Chain A
């Protein structure tokens, strides 16, 4: 088991990362069925979109994948391995990372420390004493991974800033950098473009494209911004009222009437 853990957690340059498979997942909150029998496959090395109106169950699906909610039925597999029995932190150690719709930065720490902690948190689970101290080599590894991720996300000029002082757009990039520094093999991104302006969204899309091209990791993207979805996703799943109503290659889905109806319906309510 340890071996698998290590091989997942450390990025292998060039290779294509594992697939994320969600199979028949149902999540209930009391009497409410938030997600009903959802199955999807997100391939490594590609960006898969998960779209749908507000309240469709997208974030709940994410939470079921990362173990924050326990589904009433169904299984989640990463690279063929079932994650169902594992805690959220264990799933992260197996290589499944995520960002949050409502950003979760370490707000009193500076950006470099935030990003380095992504890797350090992952390392803390390796040995029994890993929670208390790490070796100098590991610390160097964390800082090096942080600097590389900061460079990739183009936030080098913010490295010394306190995370809580940043704008939404900058914070989203820091959160992405933190996930990249961890060396996750699969990333779940929850509405990364909300709060970003058009220019920032384009920049973000470019970073995502370079990430999958360089690292071969897979990304599942929950997103409202159709420009970002169109610019990055190769395959798209559509959720509405907790159920998958449509799936297909990006261009086909975005042109579909079913999808437009689902979105128009929700916008009509707003």
Chain B
């Protein structure tokens, strides 16, 4: 028993920090209806800033901490409130894309500024040993645990005892009514974001010395908070805190208990996501009502082209595609990659643009497809069959994801797909079925008698054919009944259900189709380089896919091509490696802009709304935003929003 005590101490300390981050996350979600996927990235930002101030610039640590708290907590919180205000009137997919875009941008920024290698950060809190009965505890562990406890209890009391705290509870439910009570909803929300962001920043600064400074790892660790938030049903602050503690302790004890290497060695690190996924599966559905989704501006109809435009466009695309190998020279593999990514983007577009759902785990499906196909070709299966098999094997995985998808909708589904992607990555990527211990699989190109399909040029045409096939399939779906039902589903699942379509089946169907396409995309992608590596199918890529797709306009098929060009070809032609590092930042920021304004100005022309004047758009946006958010008074005086109440 005694040997477990040190692990208990580690668990409580870590769990406290997860709890703190989770409470901040739940607080902002409760008051604004925006689930901040960038919460973890904010924590990382704070840690790096503190490193800069304290270790590089030599400030005393309390000053460094305070400064980075001001920047990454307070200032970032105020900025986020503005972003959340902009997102109040948009649909779930756009909300998710925006905060995912922020995450991508912050992470990208940290890599540019500090490099991607892990930096060591000194422990700055006192580390003297405190003797407690049966166990030695370090001073810093004690400080962290007590500080978090005080912060959470304080917040809880503030919430239940003060007027501002109580009004925070009300602000999501009815901002207009709150406005009438002479409480300014905007002030309330600003305050919530300020606290929530500060909690994220503190948890990042506290975690960094033990973990090291690694933008990706820190971001991911605060994702541990998701598990805790799910335990608290994304609503209760005390339970969320306790959930964080339990996850921390359980993970630490499991580490001691398993004490092995092997497939279950990764279990402790995966535990929070198992908790998250499990909680999403068992929490009663009525507790998972999406917040702040009542007043959503109607999505814009995608542009539809005339038959003539389509024929001319397709012919032009065919000519360009055929000419590319002659024109681009050694850059050809770049274009082959872009074609494979077009299929991946198309699989995501089927969900996001055609049926209003979100997936943050497309690369997990792609990885399944890539490894399956690679191993099948290795075992002697003809290439086309192997690629098809890659897609087919991904289908049951997609169906597995559809289990939470049946229960969940909106942001909870997005979170579930995120947890699912991480589970697949952590538990199965290293298994012999997928990438194995070596983290890569050889992915041979096709062989076809004397025809040189294995050369760069030959393989380009193979992928071109397959991509055309996949896009053709998608176009067929779009014009078939399934496409119509999906568009109807995106607009009003309730009405579709009331008219006799089983929307659950429809959801399963669309997730399976999307997984199939993603599997094929992955199977086509790997042979470009000849190996499928686990890193290139990382969850981070799934997040980037969503951000980039949002930048690429609304037209479901065209946007896949545009997104792929933006994501693969543009950076591929930037020869300066330093400049190239900036591309994730650009994509992230553009995704936020696209999510708020319904499109990125120039690119949007390619998939613009039809028959809607700018003014009518602006009006509907303002109306929806006012209803969701309460009016934003010009001065400091709270303005009752009478027009909203009487109309």
Decide if B495 touches A100 in the complex (CB within 8 Å).
yes
Q: Is the CB of A106 within 8 A of B495?
A: yes
> Could you tell me if A125 and B491 are in contact, using CB atoms closer than 8 angstroms?
no
Chain A residue with the shortest CB-CB distance to B610: A162
Given A124-B481, A134-B481, does the pair A108, B498 have CB atoms closer than 8 Å? no
Asked if B496 is at the interface of the complex by the 8 Å CB criterion, the answer is yes
User: How distant is A122 from chain B, measured CB to nearest CB, in Å?
Assistant: 4
Chain B residues closer than 8 Å to A242, beta-carbon distance: none
- Closest A residue to B481 by CB, please name it: A134
Complex: A68 Cα to B493 Cα, angstroms: 12
Across-interface contacts of A107 in B (CB, < 8 A) = 298-299, 491-492
Contacts of B310 in A (CB 8 A): none
User: Are B499 and A122 in contact (CB-based, < 8 A)?
Assistant: yes
**Closest residue on chain A to residue B485 by CB atoms:** A124
- Interface 9-residue window, one of B5-13, B423-431, B501-509: B501-509
The stretch that binds B, out of A38-46, A91-99, A247-255, is A91-99
Confirm or deny: B210 has a beta carbon within 8 angstroms of a beta carbon on chain A.
no
Cα distance A162–B299 when bound, in Å? 12
Q: Nearest chain-A residue to B302 (Cβ)?
A: A108
Q: Is the CB of B500 within 8 A of A108?
A: no
B615 → chain A closest CB, angstroms: 13
Inter-chain contact B496/A164, CB cutoff 8 Å:
no
Within 8 A of A (CB), among B466-487: 477, 480-482, 484-485, 487
Count A-side interface residues using an 8 Å CB cutoff: 38
CB distance from A104 to the nearest CB of B (A): 4
Asked if B494 is at the interface (CB within 8 A of a chain A CB), the reply is yes
At the interface, yes or no: B568 with Cβ under 8 Å from chain A? no
B492 lies within 8 A of A125 (CB): no
The answer to the question of B465 belonging to the interface, with a C-beta cut-off of 8 Å to chain A, is no
Of B298, B482, B497, B500, the residue contacting A182 (CB under 8 A) is: B500
**CB contact between A108 and one of B300, B485, B503, B506 (< 8 Å): that residue:** B300
What's the Cα separation between A92 and B488 when bound, in Å? 16
A93 to chain B, nearest CB (A): 5
A91 to chain B, nearest CB (A): 9
Q: B300, A87: Cβ atoms under 8 Å? A: no
Chain B residues with CB below 8 A from A139, complex form: 481
On whether the beta carbons of B485 and A131 are closer than 8 Å, the reply is yes
A124 to B299 CA separation, bound complex (whole angstroms): 25
Cα(A68)–Cα(B497), bound, Å: 10
Given A130-B481, A133-B482, check contact A98 B487 (CB 8 Å). no
**Is B301 located at the chain interface by the 8 A CB criterion?**
yes
Residues of A within 8 A of B301 (CB): 108-109, 162, 164
From A93, A131, A162, give the contact of B481 (CB < 8 A). Answer: A131
Decide: B497 and A88 in contact? CB cutoff 8 A: yes
A118 within 8 A of B: yes
Q: Which residue of B lies closest to A182 (CB)?
A: B499
Chain A residues closer than 8 Å to B482, beta-carbon distance: 131-133
With A107-B298, A108-B299, A132-B509 known to touch, is A120 a contact of B491 (CB < 8 Å)?
no
- When the two chains form their complex, are residues A92 and B492 in contact, meaning their CB atoms are under 8 A apart? no
- In the assembled complex, B578 has its CB within 8 A of some CB on chain A: no
How far is B488's CA from A131's CA once the two chains are assembled, in angstroms? 13
Q: A108-B487, A109-B487, A133-B481 known; A164 and B500 CB under 8 Å?
A: no
> What's the least CB distance linking B479 to chain A, in Å?
10
Q: Which residue of B lies closest to A125 (CB)?
A: B500
A125 to B485, CA, bound (A): 12
Q: Please name the residue on chain A nearest to B476 by beta carbon.
A: A133
Which of B298, B490, B509 is packed against the most chain A CB atoms within 10 Å?
B298
Nearest chain B CB to A187 CB, angstrom units: 11
Roughly how many angstroms separate A117 CA and B300 CA in the complex, as a whole number?
Answer: 19
A109–chain B nearest beta-carbon distance, Å: 6
Residues of B within 8 A of A88 (CB): 497-498
Q: Which residues of A contact B503 (CB under 8 A)?
A: 89
Asked if B308 is at the interface (CB within 8 A of a chain A CB), the reply is: no
> Inside 8 A of A243's CB, which chain B residues have their CB?
none
In the assembled complex, A121 has its CB within 8 A of some CB on chain B: yes
A121 to B477 Cα, complex, angstroms: 16
Q: Which residue of A lies closest to B509 (CB)?
A: A131
Q: Within the complex, what minimum Cβ distance (angstroms) separates A66 from chain B? A: 6
A170→B5 CA distance, assembly (Å): 69
Q: In the complex, how many angstroms separate the beta carbon of A117 from the nearest chain B beta carbon?
A: 5
Residues of A contacting B502 in the complex (Cβ-Cβ under 8 angstroms): 87, 89-90, 124-125, 131
Q: Does B501 contact A125, Cβ atoms closer than 8 Å?
A: yes
Kindly state whether residue A58 has any CB partner on chain B within 8 Å.
Answer: no
Residue pair A117, B484 in contact (C-beta under 8 Å)? yes
Is B161 an interface position by the 8 A CB rule? no
A56 to B430, CA, bound (A): 59
The 6 closest A-B pairs by CB, nearest first: A121-B499, A92-B500, A104-B495, A122-B500, A106-B491, A121-B501
A-B contact pairs, 30 of them (CB 8 A): A68-B494, A88-B497, A89-B498, A90-B502, A100-B498, A104-B492, A104-B498, A106-B491, A106-B495, A107-B299, A108-B300, A108-B490, A108-B491, A109-B301, A117-B485, A121-B485, A121-B496, A122-B501, A124-B485, A124-B502, A125-B500, A125-B501, A131-B482, A131-B485, A162-B610, A164-B298, A164-B301, A165-B616, A178-B495, A182-B500
